[in-house]
Amino acid sequence: MLALFSGKEPWFRAKKFGYGAGLPFRWQGWVTLAAYLLAMVGLGLFADGHGAMPTIAIVALMLCVTGIFVAIVRKRTEGGWKWRGGWGA
């Protein structure tokens, strides 16, 4: 299964204007986005007053998951991340 994610092709389109990535255009990108959203919702629900973990620990986990997501998206964006369009283009 991991071999399906190990290719070199991009999963996300570059933004037409601005910096960063746009929406995914391959199924691997959609799976990555869905997994990130599920992780954020799950962590948010886990922190919702259950007292199992301190809020600071949940926020730290969310920041770690976000960092991993951004690194994956940055690596898998066609054309890389750079400023596009607008002033100074």
**Domain assignment present for 69:** yes
Range of the domain at 48: 16-75
Nearest-angstrom CA–CA distance, 87 and 32: 32
**Domain assignment present for 7:** no
Structure-block tokens of residue 47: 């922190």
Count of domains for the chain: 1
**Domain assignment present for 50:** yes
**Domain assignment present for 61:** yes
**Residue 51, pLDDT above cutoff 80:** no
12-43 residue pLDDT tens: 888 778 787 888 988 999 999 999 999 999 98
55-83 residue pLDDT tens: 788 889 999 999 999 999 999 988 777 77
For residue 8, report the phi and psi dihedrals to the nearest 5 degrees: -100, -5
pTM for this predicted structure: 0.78
